[in-house]
Amino acid sequence: MTEHAPALARAATDTRAFALANCIRALAIDGVEAANSGHPGAPMGMAEAATVLWTRHMKFDAARPDWPDRDRFVLSNGHGSMLLYALLHLTGFEDMPVEELKNFRQWGAKTAGHPEYGHVAGVDVTTGPLGQGLAGAVGMCMAEAHLAARFGREVVDHRTWVFCGDGCLMEGISQEAISLAGHLKLSKLCVLYDDNGISIDGTTDKSFTEDTTGRFEAAGWQVIACDGHDVTALDEAITRAKAETTRPTLIRMRTVIGLARPTRPETAASHGAPLGAEERALVRQALDWANEDFSIPAELLSEWRAAGARGAADREAWEMRLSALPADQRTEFSRRIAGEMPDGFDTAVAQARAALYASPQKVATRKASQIALETLAEVCPEMIGGSADLTGSNLTRVKAVDSDFQAGSLGGRYVSWGVREFGMAAAMNGMSVHGGVIPYGGTFLVFSDYARNAIRLSALMGVGTVYVMTHDSIGLGEDGPTHQPVEHLISLRAIPGLNVFRPADAVETLECWELAIRSRRAPSLLALSRQAVPQLRASGEENLSAKGAYVIRQFGERRDVTLIATGTEVALAVEAAEALYAEGCGAAVVSMPSWELFDTQPPSYRAEVLGDAPRVAVEAASKLGWTRYVASEEDVIGMDGFGASAPAEVLYEKFGITRDAIMARARALIEARP
């Protein structure tokens, strides 16, 4: 026999806690069975840990799930979602009536297959892609620590709790996350690790035999080992974690996956499949559970609901402390948590635009970004910047954020993320969902591939994380094709809900930054150049980039051809249009900093901008996708393959992204027109 029977006996030692934990197990089993789909193994194995944490330690108020100073809970092993849904129902979250559990994984249900932020109160971050919940939790702790340094522990003093499994720790992002958390000494982070020795392919000794304790200790964590079914040991471990003041904590809980499944103990079969009628009956017998499906005995439900209401007194005391803050601090804290724009923002943007008009800048758009940030980060104290070890290239550091965010100075506004692109992106998502801060972080556009899954989650959650991606084309030159993004723009544009901006000059860069900061419900990615471009805009108060595309130049009264371009190629298109006009052709140049925003404009506006003349698109990247705006890929001046190592001007010439190539295609289209 395996560890199953002894573990079940140990869990049953504390009869009351065992009964409360069995409420979680029963609901998880019932939900998965009703859906004929799901993962009951983790909820059944982690039920004791969840019970101890939620009934004895975690600070929350089920009646006010948006309370800013509540503890955060992250189910990083999000496949075990029925564990979280059961907890939300048992503790009395209004969003989680029993009908939602019965509708698990069905159309229109809040109980999605993996927990999704924004679908239901109590889900603090979307999880499922393993490791990202853990990394997001690091970002939550960073936001908490920063706000505490700014506003004081009287109003910001909460913890972040993470449940994770072997899969989370196998994913490479976990190393980025635990390394950073240990470096920053995020002592309010506690990870409860479901150390059950099982993965989908079988026992973990097939693929995962490292010294997990040594790994975390080497990264600067406190590690506590305990029996994951011993309620007293769990209680003591969590108490120790709360007492630690200089290190994050890993509680390594030895558990049995799918505890109480007598026919499949400690096997991969317990992970992700319904029990079936026969084994379900055996589990009920082992748990001494004789209730109807989705039914919880009144006395147990009452105890769970009391746990959900326990935090009301803490919340009310917090509200009193908040009201006692000086008026200016209270107002500023509330503004940040509500996600409202600061006073003076519009004025600051207008002044920055006027300064560009007064003194036009011929600079790389990465430098234009830094110029914009000098103003915007000053007026938006909630902005926290950073770079994945490329600050001097990304130009993300400005005077307003010049203070380092480090252990001992967590009120700083600049994060040195190290070479951790994926960890940076996922942690910034955690900062975004925490609230009170606007994170932005930089790397090269080509390395967006490393961060892509976190960028996707930004869009899926609908949060305003800002990605600053420089060196946006073959124009970066000599570093060669390993660093020259070609397919990246179209692959990022393919992500629903992500605003991809490729500004043409300093004015557009300022406008795109304004849009990114205002966008609290959608992430933004700024693709910025290494090479300098002329400033094409010299007047106007409207944010034209907000429309996604607009006519930036019109040569002649009639329009014989429309040249559409983005970023550094807009200036090239302007040169071509001017030369065509000298030959007698009327030409309009459309700058298109954002496909996504342009596609949301009214059809009449889009038709007016694009016109009915033949069109040529110009972008020093993949041609893929441009046929939504031009007739064929033959009408796209762009890239068909990877770049090469050479100076930028040589690359543009060799790959045919030139004024003459644009003109030649425009002439061919004009001549072919009936």
Q: Where in the sequence numbering do the catalytic residues fall?
A: 421
Binding residue per annotation — 271? yes
Binding residue per annotation — 130? yes
Question: Strand, helix or coil at 148?
Answer: helix
Binding residue per annotation — 447? yes
Of residues 567, 451, 437, the one with CA closest to residue 498? 451
β-strand partners of 135? none
The 10 Å Cβ neighbour count of residue 337 is 18
The rounded distance, in Å, linking the Cα atoms of 594 and 48 is: 49
Binding residue per annotation — 196? yes
Of residues 382, 370, 375, 381, the one with CA closest to residue 351? 375
Binding residue per annotation — 77? no
**Contact predicate 438/514, CB 8 Å:** no
The rounded distance, in Å, linking the Cα atoms of 48 and 23 is: 10
Question: Strand, helix or coil at 618?
Answer: strand
The rounded distance, in Å, linking the Cα atoms of 653 and 667 is: 19
User: Which residue, chain included where needed, has tokens 């009964």?
Assistant: 19
What's the order of all strands across the beta sheet hosting 383-387?
414-416, 383-387, 438-444, 466-470, 524-528, 499-501
Give the sign of the dihedral formed by CA 52, CA 121, CA 495, CA 522: negative
Task: Tell which phi-psi region holds residue 383, choosing left (phi > 0), alpha (psi between -120 and 50) or beta.
Answer: beta
* Burial status of residue 439 (CB atoms within 10 A of its CB: 0-12, 13-18, 19 or more): buried
**Contact predicate 272/200, CB 8 Å:** yes
Binding residue per annotation — 158? no
Q: What is the 3-state secondary structure (H, E, C) of 225-277?
A: EEECCCHHHHHHHHHHHHHCCCCCEEEEEECCCCCCCCCCCCCHHHCCCCCCH
Binding residue per annotation — 146? no
The secondary structure of 294-340 as a DSSP string is: T---HHHHHHHHHHHHTTHHHHHHHHHHHHTS-HHHHHHHHHHHHTP
Length of the chain counted residue by residue:
674
Question: For the chain, give me the number of helices (H) and strands (E)?
Answer: 27, 20
The rounded distance, in Å, linking the Cα atoms of 502 and 490 is: 12
The rounded distance, in Å, linking the Cα atoms of 353 and 145 is: 34
The secondary structure of 31-46 as a DSSP string is: HHHHHT-S--HHHHHS
Binding residue per annotation — 79? yes
Binding residue per annotation — 495? no
Binding residue per annotation — 647? no
The 10 Å Cβ neighbour count of residue 608 is 12
Binding residue per annotation — 229? no
Binding residue per annotation — 4? no
Largest CA distance in the chain: 91
Binding residue per annotation — 165? no
Pairing state of beta strands 249-254 and 189-195? Answer: parallel
The rounded distance, in Å, linking the Cα atoms of 570 and 659 is: 11
Binding site members for thiamine diphosphate = 79, 128-130, 167, 196, 271, 447
Binding residues for Mg(2+): 166, 196, 198
Residue ranges for the binding site?
39, 79, 128-130, 166-167, 196, 198, 271, 366, 393, 447, 471, 479, 483, 530
- Binding site for substrate, residues? 39, 271, 366, 393, 471, 479, 483, 530
